[in-house]
Amino acid sequence: MSCCAPGVELTSGDIAANRAEEVRLASRDVGDGLRQTDLSVPAMHCGGCIQTVERALNALPGVEGARVNLSSKRATIRWHDSATPPPFVETLRGIGYDAHLFDPSAERKDNTLSELLRALAVAGFAASNIMLLSVSVWAGADASTRDLFHAISALIALPALAYSGRVFFRSAWSALKHGRTNMDVPISIGVTMAFGLSLYETFHHGAHAYFDASVTLLFFLLIGRTLDHLMRERARTAVKGLAQLAARGALVAQPDGSNVYLPVNDIQIGMTILLAAGERVPVDGRVTSGQSDIDRSLLTGESAPVPVTDGAELQAGTLNLTGPLTLIATAVARDSFLAEMMRLMETAEAGRSAYRRIADRASRLYAPVVHAAALLTMIGWLIATGDLHRAVTIAIAVLIITCPCALGLAVPMVQVMAARRLFERGMLLKDGGALERLAEIDTVVFDKTGTLTLGQPRLLHPESVDTDALGIAAAMATHSRHPYSRALAAAGATIASPLDAGAVAEIPGAGLEARIGTHIYRLGRASWALSQSDDDITDSANVVLSRDGQSVARFAFEDRLRDGARETIAELTNNGFAVEVLSGDRDEAVRRIAGDLGAQHLSEVTPAGKVARVSAIESSGRRVLMVGDGLNDAPALAAAHASMAPASAADVGRNAADLVFLHESLRAVPEAIGIARNAARLVQQNLALAIGYNVIAVPIAVLGYVTPLIAAVAMSSSSVIVIANALRLRGVKRNRRAARTPTTHLVAQPVTGRGA
> In whole angstroms, what is the distance from residue 685 CA to residue 388 CA?
40
Cβ neighbourhood burial of 95 (10 Å; 0-12, 13-18, 19+):
middle
Q: How many CB atoms lie within 10 A of CB 22?
A: 13
Please tell me the distance from the alpha carbon of residue 250 to that of residue 75, in angstroms, as a whole number.
31
Length of the chain: 756
Q: Is 582 helix (H, G, I), strand (E, B) or coil?
A: strand
Whether the Cβ atoms of residue 191 and residue 184 lie closer than 8 Å to each other: no
The torsion defined by the Cα of 127, 129, 131 and 132, in degrees rounded to 10, comes to 170
Query: What is the Cα–Cα distance from 743 to 451, expressed in whole angstroms?
Result: 16
Do residues 220 and 712 make contact, with C-beta atoms less than 8 angstroms apart? yes
- In sequence order, the 6+-apart residues with CB closer than 8 A to the CB of 116 are 167, 222, 225, 226, 229
Label residue 140 left, alpha or beta by phi (over 0 means left) and psi (-120 to 50 means alpha): left
Question: If we measure between CA atoms, which residue out of 402, 377, 331 comes closest to residue 703?
Answer: 377
Give the pairing of strands 557-560 and 511-516: unpaired
Contact criterion met (CB below 8 Å) for 451 and 593: no
Catalytic residue among 38, 147, 447, 559: 447
* Extended strands (E) in 318-399: 319-320, 325-329
Look at residues 681, 725, 719, 680 and name the one whose alpha carbon lies nearest to residue 697.
719
- In angstroms, the CA 133 to CA 154 distance is 11
CB neighbour list of residue 674: distance below 8 Å, 6 or more residues apart: 731, 732
Helical segments of 386-404, H only: 388-401
8 A C-beta contact, residue 386 and residue 623 = no
Cα 265 from Cα 246, distance rounded (Å): 11
Please name every residue paired with 300 in a beta bridge, in sequence order, or none if there are none: none
To which H or E segment does residue 247 belong? none
Pick from 754, 421, 444, 460: which is nearest to 627 by CA?
444
Nearest in space to 477 (alpha carbons), one of 447, 498, 508: 498
Other beta carbons within 10 angstroms of residue 115's beta carbon come to 15
Q: Is 497 exposed, middle or buried, given 0-12, 13-18 or 19+ CB atoms closer than 10 A?
A: exposed
Q: Which residues contact 638 (CB under 8 A, 6 or more apart)?
A: 656
Q: CA end-to-end span of the chain, whole Å?
A: 80
Q: Tell me the CA distances in angstroms from 407 to 24, 74, 687, one per residue in order.
A: 38, 22, 6
Q: Would residue 539 show up in a list of annotated catalytic residues for this protein? A: no
Q: How many helices (H) and strands (E) does the chain have?
A: 25, 29
Residues tagged active-site:
447
